[in-house]
A and B are shown apart, each in its own frame.
Chain A
Amino acid sequence: MKRAARYIIFYAALFGLWTLLAELKIWPPYLFPTPWGVAEALYTGFQDHTYWIAIRVSMQRVLIGYGISIALGMILGLGVASNKFLEETMGGLLVSLQSLPSICWWPLALLWFGLNQNAILFVVIMGSLLSVTLAMEDGRKQMPKIFSQAGRNLGAKGFKLFWYVLLPASLPFMVSGLKQGWAFAWRSLITAEMLYLSLGLGQVLMMGRDLNDMSAVIAVMFLIIAIGYIVDGIVFKGMERHLQNKWGLTPA
C-alpha cells in the first residue's frame, strides 16, 4: 500500500510540474506541449490508425531482427564457449565490438542492402547479436557441468544434447543477456527508423518534428517507452518467474 502511495505521489508531482511549466507558457506550446495536448495526439494517432500501423510495422521488424539475433547468437555463443581457440580469438573481438553503437553500421547497411527494410534489420541484428552471443557464452559457462555429463550419460548427443540439455540448463543464466539483447534491438530499430523514413514508430516520431508538432513527438516517445516496458515487464519478467518456479530459485 505504502509503495502504491509513493508511486502516486511521485507521478502526480511529475504531472503537476509538467502542467505548471506548460501553463506558465515560458515556451510556446508547439515547443513545450501540455499533457492534454499529448493525450489528444495519442487519441488522434490511434484514431486514424497511424500509430497502430507504426506499431505493427516496428514490432514486426524488431521480432524478425531479434529472432535472427537469437538464432545466430546461440550458435556463435555456443561455439565461443566450447572452443578454446574461438574463445581466445573471437571472445575479445565480441566484447570490443559491443562498444560500437549499432547505428554505426547504418552507412554500411545502406551500401550493402540499399535503402530498404533489410538495412534496418541488419542494424537491429548488429545491435542485439552481441548481447545474445555473450549471454549464450556466459550461460553455457556458468551452467553446472553435471547437466551436460548427465545428458550425455543418458544418451543425448549433438543437436539433441544442445536442445534438450545445454539450452534449458543455461537459460536461467541467459535471461538477463537476452533481455539486454532485446533492449538493444528495440533501440537500434527506432534509431534506424528515424534515419530511414518508412512507416514504423521512428518515422512517426520524425514526422512530428517535421510538422513542428511536439505533442505528437512526445506521444510517440511514450509509445516507444511503453512497448519497451511492456515487453520487459511481461515477456522477460514472466520468463524469469517461470524459470524460478521450475528451478526452485528464490527471486533475486
Chain B
Amino acid sequence: MSTDAQKFPTQFPIPVEPRFPVRPASPGKKISPLSVGRSGRAVSSEVAKVGLSDICLSYHSQSGEQLLALDRINLQVRAGEFVCVVGPSGCGKSTLLHLIAGLHSQTSGQVLVDGKPVQGPGTDRILIFQEHGLFPWLTVGKNVEFGMKMKGVPKAERAEKTRHYLRLVHLTKFENSYIHQLSGGMRQRVAIARALATEPDVLLMDEPFAALDAQTRDLLHDELERIWSESGRTIIFVTHNVREAIRLGDRVVLLTFRPGRVKSELPVELPRPRHLEDPAVARAARQILDQLRDEINRSLEVEYNEGVKPRVEPEVEGRTRV
C-alpha cells in the first residue's frame, strides 16, 4: 500500500497545481471518485482512500438560529498519505473527523471511503480522541483487545496481537494496569495501540497530543511517524498546532473559521524525519500562520465576545447518532 502511495502520480485531483498562494475554497469541476472505474490493482491509486465532496454541516445554536459549521468541504486523501488539518479552535476540524468516522452525519455532501459512501462507524476508520477515550474499567491489554473482541477474533490471536501492538508503543509492561495508573503520554500510546489493533486502513487523530508536555509530544511524533511509515496506513491528523502539522504531514490543509471551509492545501516537501525545531519547519509554519492569521483573529474575537459561554460549539451535540 505504501509503495502505491509513493509511486503516486501527479495527476491526482487536488493538490497539484497552484500550491501557493491560497486556493479558492470550492474548486470547480473535478473527477468524482465514484465515477472512477474500479478495475484490477489500479484502484488504490485512482480512487481516493478518503474523499470528502461538498460536505456541509449546519446546526441549531442555543438561540435557535441555523448556523453553518462546515461549508462545502472538498478533500481527497490518498492511501498511505499523512494529511494534517489545521485551523483555529471552533472551525469544525474535529467535527470533520467525526463525520469521516461515521459518528455523526453531515447535512449534505458525501464522505467516501474507497469510493463508497460512509454509513455509520466502521473499523476501517478508527478515531483517536483528544481525551484518549480509553475505557477505565478495562486494563490496558483489554482496551487494546477491545476492537478485535467486537470483531470476534479468537482469543489466542487477540492475545498475541495485543502483545504485538503494546510492544509497538513500548507498553508491554503495563498490559495489566488500569488506565488511571498511566501518564498522559502513555494513555495516548495505548489509544494508538488500541486503534492499530483493529487494523484500520485510516487513522483519524483528533488533536491527540494537545494535552501533552513538549518532551512527550516530541517522542510521540517520532513514534507515530515510525508506525506510519512501517504500517503504510492513511492518517488524517487534526491539530491547531501548525508546526506539529508540518512536522508530521505530507500535506497540510487549512480550514477557515466559522464556517469551516478549505482555505488552502499545502504539500510539505521537507525531507523526513523532520523536527519541530528545524528552521525549515519553522519557516513553513510561519507561512501558514500568515495565512491563518485572519482566521485566528476572528476566532479569538468571537471567543472574547462570547465571554464565559462555552467555546466548544454545539456543532457536535445535537447531531450525535446513538
Type the 1/0 row for A144-176, where 1 means its CB is closer than 8 Å to any CB of B: 011111111111110010001100110100000
Tell whether, in the assembled complex, residue A153 and residue B127 are in contact, meaning their CB atoms are under 8 Å apart. yes
- Name the segment of B84-92, B128-136, B238-246 touching the other chain: B128-136
Return A125 CB to nearest CB of chain B, in Å. Answer: 28
With A and B bound together, what is the CA distance between A148 and B104 in angstroms?
A: 13
Tell whether, in the assembled complex, residue B180 and residue A154 are in contact, meaning their CB atoms are under 8 Å apart. no
With A and B bound together, what is the CA distance between A169 and B125 in angstroms?
A: 23
Give the number of chain B interface residues (Cβ < 8 Å): 31
Between B150, B178, B181, B194, the greatest number of chain A beta carbons within 10 A of the residue's beta carbon is seen for B150
**B198 within 8 A of partner (CB):** yes
Q: A154-B150, A155-B198 are in contact. Are A82 and B133 (CB under 8 A)?
A: no
B residues in contact with A247, CB < 8 Å: 136-137, 178, 180
B residues in contact with A152, CB < 8 Å: 103, 120-121
Tell whether, in the assembled complex, residue B121 and residue A168 are in contact, meaning their CB atoms are under 8 Å apart. no
With A and B bound together, what is the CA distance between A156 and B127 in angstroms?
A: 14
Tell whether, in the assembled complex, residue A155 and residue B137 are in contact, meaning their CB atoms are under 8 Å apart. no
Tell whether, in the assembled complex, residue B123 and residue A155 are in contact, meaning their CB atoms are under 8 Å apart. yes
Cβ-defined partner of B126 (8 Å) among A146, A153, A171: A153
Return B138 CB to nearest CB of chain A, in Å. Answer: 8
A residues in contact with B137, CB < 8 Å: 168-169, 171, 243, 246-247
B residues in contact with A28, CB < 8 Å: none
Between A147, A149, A153, the greatest number of chain B beta carbons within 10 A of the residue's beta carbon is seen for A153
Tell whether, in the assembled complex, residue B123 and residue A147 are in contact, meaning their CB atoms are under 8 Å apart. no
**B320 within 8 A of partner (CB):** yes
B residues in contact with A147, CB < 8 Å: 133, 135
Tell whether, in the assembled complex, residue A248 and residue B178 are in contact, meaning their CB atoms are under 8 Å apart. yes
**B51 within 8 A of partner (CB):** no
Chain A interface helix/strand/loop/mixed: helix
Type the 1/0 row for B101-140, where 1 means its CB is closer than 8 Å to any CB of A: 1010000000000000000111101110101011111100
Q: Which residue of chain A is the closest to B322 with respect to CB atoms?
A: A82
Tell whether, in the assembled complex, residue A165 and residue B135 are in contact, meaning their CB atoms are under 8 Å apart. yes
B residues in contact with A248, CB < 8 Å: 136, 178-181
With A and B bound together, what is the CA distance between A160 and B146 in angstroms?
A: 11
Q: Which residue of chain A is the closest to B129 with respect to CB atoms?
A: A146
A residues in contact with B232, CB < 8 Å: none
Tell whether, in the assembled complex, residue B178 and residue A154 are in contact, meaning their CB atoms are under 8 Å apart. no
Between B101, B121, B126, B320, the greatest number of chain A beta carbons within 10 A of the residue's beta carbon is seen for B121
Give the number of chain A interface residues (Cβ < 8 Å): 25
Complex interface residues of chain A between 22 and 75 (CB less than 8 A to chain B) = none
Between B125, B134, B137, the greatest number of chain A beta carbons within 10 A of the residue's beta carbon is seen for B137
Between B101, B126, B133, B320, the greatest number of chain A beta carbons within 10 A of the residue's beta carbon is seen for B133
Q: Which residue of chain A is the closest to B147 with respect to CB atoms?
A: A154
Q: Which residue of chain A is the closest to B134 with respect to CB atoms?
A: A150
Q: Which residue of chain A is the closest to B121 with respect to CB atoms?
A: A152
Q: Which residue of chain A is the closest to B317 with respect to CB atoms?
A: A145
A residues in contact with B194, CB < 8 Å: 154
**B309 within 8 A of partner (CB):** no
With A and B bound together, what is the CA distance between A145 and B135 in angstroms?
A: 12
**B272 within 8 A of partner (CB):** no
Q: Which residue of chain A is the closest to B135 with respect to CB atoms?
A: A147
**B151 within 8 A of partner (CB):** yes
Q: Which residue of chain A is the closest to B131 with respect to CB atoms?
A: A146
Cβ-defined partner of B150 (8 Å) among A156, A169, A171, A243: A156
Tell whether, in the assembled complex, residue A149 and residue B103 are in contact, meaning their CB atoms are under 8 Å apart. yes
Tell whether, in the assembled complex, residue A155 and residue B129 are in contact, meaning their CB atoms are under 8 Å apart. no
Q: A148-B322, A153-B126 are in contact. Are A160 and B103 (CB under 8 A)?
A: no
With A and B bound together, what is the CA distance between A154 and B135 in angstroms?
A: 12
B residues in contact with A145, CB < 8 Å: 320
Q: Which residue of chain B is the closest to A243 with respect to CB atoms?
A: B137
Q: Which residue of chain A is the closest to B182 with respect to CB atoms?
A: A248
Q: A146-B131, A149-B103, A248-B178 are in contact. Are A154 and B126 (CB under 8 A)?
A: yes
Q: A153-B121, A154-B146 are in contact. Are A246 and B133 (CB under 8 A)?
A: no
Between A149, A168, A247, the greatest number of chain B beta carbons within 10 A of the residue's beta carbon is seen for A149
Could you list 16 examples of A-B contacts with CB < 8 Å?
Answer: A146-B129, A147-B135, A148-B322, A150-B129, A150-B134, A152-B121, A154-B123, A154-B126, A154-B146, A154-B147, A154-B150, A155-B122, A164-B149, A243-B137, A248-B179, A248-B180
Residues of chain A at the chain B interface (Cβ within 8 Å): 82, 145-157, 160, 164-165, 168-169, 171, 243, 245-248
Closest 7 CB pairs of A and B: A248-B180, A150-B133, A154-B147, A155-B150, A155-B123, A168-B137, A247-B136
Residues of chain B at the chain A interface (Cβ within 8 Å): 98, 101, 103, 120-123, 125-127, 129, 131, 133-138, 146-147, 149-151, 178-181, 194, 198, 320, 322
In the complex, besides A153-B125, A164-B149, A164-B150, 12 extra interface pairs with C-beta distance below 8 angstroms are A146-B133, A147-B135, A150-B127, A151-B146, A152-B120, A155-B121, A155-B123, A155-B151, A168-B137, A246-B136, A248-B178, A248-B181
